Amino acid sequence: MIKELSVLLVEDDDVAAESVMRSLKKVSPEIHIITAENGRVALDVIKNKIPDRLITTPYIVLLDLNMPVMSGHEFLEEIRRSDEYRDIVVFVLTTSDDDRDRSQAYHHNIAGYMVKSAVGPQFSKLSALLDAYRKAIELSPR
Amino acid sequence: MNQKSADLVNVTELNASNIQQLVDAMPVGAMVADEAGKIIQANTELEHVLGYKQGELLGSDIKNLLPEQFRSNHHVLMSQYLKSPQKRQMGVGRELYALRLDGTEIPIEIGLNPINVNGELRVLMTLVDITSRLQAASMFKRSINAAPHGILVVDESGKIKFVNPTLCCYFGYAERELINQTMEMLLPNRHRGDHHKLRASYCSDPDVRMMGVGRDLTALHKDGREFPVEIGLSPFEDGSNERMVLVTLMDITERKRMEMSLKEINKNLEEFTYVASHDLRSPLRGISDLLEWIKEDLGENIAPAILNNVDRISVRIHKMETLIENLLAYARAGKETTEIEQVNVDDLINGIFELTQLPENFKLEKDITINTLETTKTPLETILRNLISNAIKHHNADSGVIKISCHSEKNMCHFSICDDGPGIPEASHDRIFRLFQTVTSSAKDSSGIGLSVSRRLAETHGGRINVENNKNKPGATFNVWWPRFIRMDNHD
């Protein structure tokens, strides 16, 4: 049995988080989504320190950048520094199209950077990307 | 006084008529006197300078040409000269004056030349009125003293030879504290060690130039404080052929302070751009999603009045998003692009028309005499694309001609985009370049940002933009002047 891909969604805005969840569920109703409201909570989640938000591999992280307590950039810095979590696949999902944000994020080995437009349909690309990623995991021997 | 045998050996021998011709031909005041000091020849120039009529000087004593206070000692000096006569200037280092017939005194220079006239020792004297020269020198000195920037003169060994009051004021020293001191005293300690080497290398190949271009120069005030300066160097030789350097120095403290505050303002603007790009967009995105979900939850049986209002909210959300995008575009247009590339003007125009399709029945005419430009491509392309798409978008007929030209104009590259559309009312020529302004109220899918962004881009990159209505035919022409050469300032 192939494990279903999980998603850790790190987003401080509850509406934005719900919006992502709704879009993902439309494409993959079975998808397991865990949310964290900032980078600090997300770190606790990947360390499985929060009993009601346990996460299992394989999973990917969808990361907002501008968040209180611990920003997306700080979260990336933390996990890329640790031996255990440096390989986690992270996609940045943000409203910022600032070049500095983009290059700083890519500097921390992110798998992709998606700019949310303020309005209009989106996430179709994200869903396609998740699909492709899931297939890649299925093909890989691990 | 019979010393001719010994003293005249080395002296030019002339006869009396030669001497008359010689004196008359001299371009300066000249006279010949005998050993007793009697004037035996004088030319008209001399008579003119001293205010005498022709021939009036002949036979008179040269003492009469001296101001009263110099007369008593003169015969001593004269007999000393006659003991070993030689060609020289008189009174070097002293200021000499002559007494004119009208009693006024004038500053003069006198040259002495012993000559032998038929075996007799005579002295040929040249006399130059230096009034205007002294006036020029004093004018020069006064303007140096009144100069709004600091000036100092340094000799080859680095000793300060001259300072003007502004320089003293910059550094807090009195003139006497600086003269004959080594100039390194004006430098911060850390630059003193090697400065003599720099000075030596400058002296070996002196030229007029700015010092330390591209580096921040600082000078040391008497109180130990450092201040930023700009320094110009120019070599010259002084009266005694000593090699000197004239240093002009500007205290640029105030300018630096303004640069800093401008940098601060720009940083704040960038901060604002960031806030606009993220913090304003996120909640708007949320509102848009929530509205969508409300619509979903209400399902098919939504009351028309509610649906109408929901749609009206949607329209305003879109408008808000456009406004944010435009504000961002405008803010970014103020940021100078520094990426320089080779731009082929024709390719650039063709590239724009690949993305902005020319409608059917429209004709494009090109008149381009500039081949390539070394410049920042993106902002130039954005401006031209905006103008070209405006020319098409705002055209009021089914067919038309768009003319694009590009010629060099001094150090600028002049692009013009000429259409045969409706033209723009004269009164609106200024307004259309302002943020969020359009001429027509219907504003066919135009946000009113294109022209203001174009103008900001042009001005940020050293260019400018304007519009004029075509003469004697319909349509308007937009002109863009874009620098042909890259500005090297501001790029640090």
Residue of B nearest to A65 (CA): B278
- Phi/psi for B6 (5° steps) reads -80, -50
Percent of chain B at pLDDT exceeding 70: 93
pLDDT confidence band for B444 (50 / 70 / 90): very low
Q: Which of A4, A90, A74, A78 is nearest to A47 (CA)?
A: A78
> Chain A partners of B321 at a C-beta cutoff of 8 Å?
117-119
B377 CB burial (10 A radius; 0-12, 13-18, 19+) = middle
CA distance B382 to chain A (A): 19
B279–A116 C-beta distance less than 8 A:
no
Chain B positions contacting chain A at CB under 8 Å are 273-274, 277-279, 281-286, 288-290, 293, 317-318, 320-321, 324
The pLDDT score that the predictor gives to residue B488 is: 54
The whole-number pLDDT of residue A121 equals 54
User: Is residue B355 within a helix (H) or strand (E), and if so which, with residue range?
Assistant: helix B345-355
Position B52 scores a pLDDT of 93
A94–B277 C-beta distance less than 8 A: no
Residue B230: pLDDT band (50, 70, 90) is very high
Q: What value does the mean pLDDT of chain B take?
A: 86
CA gyration radius, chain A: 14
Mean pLDDT of B261-270: 84
Q: What are phi and psi of B454, to 5 degrees?
A: -60, -45
- Which chain A residues are within 8 Å of B290, Cβ to Cβ? 15
State the pLDDT confidence band at A122, using cuts at 50, 70 and 90: low
CB burial of residue B15 (10 Å; 0-12, 13-18, 19+):
exposed
pLDDT of residue B432: 86
Select from A13, A22, A119 the Cβ nearest to the Cβ of B318: A119
Name the pTM for this structure. 0.52
The nearest CA of chain A is from the CA of B454 a distance in Å of 21
Render pLDDT for B83-108 as a digit per residue (tens, 0 to 9): 888 888 887 777 889 999 999 999 99
B273, B274, B288 member nearest A119 (Cβ): B288
- Contact predicate B203/B243, CB 8 Å: yes
Residue B482 has pLDDT above 70, yes or no: yes
CB distance B433 to B330 below 8 Å: no
Q: What is the mean pLDDT of residues B297-306?
A: 86
Of B273, B274, B288, Cβ closest to residue A118:
B288
Give the pLDDT score at B101: 92
**Cβ <8 Å between A16 and B286:** yes
CA nearest neighbour of B458 among B489, B481, B487, B432: B481
In terms of CA atoms, which chain A residue is nearest residue B321? A118
Interface residue ranges in chain A relative to chain B, Cβ cutoff 8 Å: 13, 15-16, 18-19, 22, 65-66, 94-98, 116-120
Nearest chain A Cα distance for residue B333, angstroms: 14
Backbone angles phi, psi at B392, to 5 degrees: -80, -45
B381-416 residue pLDDT tens: 999 999 998 898 888 888 899 999 999 988 899 999
Work out the pLDDT band at B266, boundaries 50, 70, 90. Answer: confident
- How far is residue B468's CA from residue B423's CA, in Å, rounded to a whole number? 9
- Count A/B contacts: CB-CB distance under 8 Å: 53
Q: Give the pLDDT band of residue B137 (cuts 50, 70, 90).
A: confident
ipTM for the predicted complex comes to 0.71
Of residues A139 and B329, the one with the higher pLDDT is B329
Of B282, B289, B320, the CB nearest to A95: B282
A96·B274 Cβ contact <8 A: yes
Pairing of strands B400-409, B362-368: parallel
Of B338 and B475, more confident: B475
Distance CA B64, CA B248 (A): 47
- B357-384 pLDDT per residue, tens: 888 889 999 999 988 888 888 899 999 9
What local confidence, expressed as pLDDT, does residue A99 receive?
79
pLDDT at position B186 is 94
- Across the interface, whether the CB atoms of B274 and A98 are under 8 A apart is answered yes
**B321–A98: do the CB atoms touch at under 8 Å?**
no
Nearest residue in chain A measured CA to CA from B293: A19
Which backbone phi and psi does B411 adopt, to 5 degrees? -95, 15
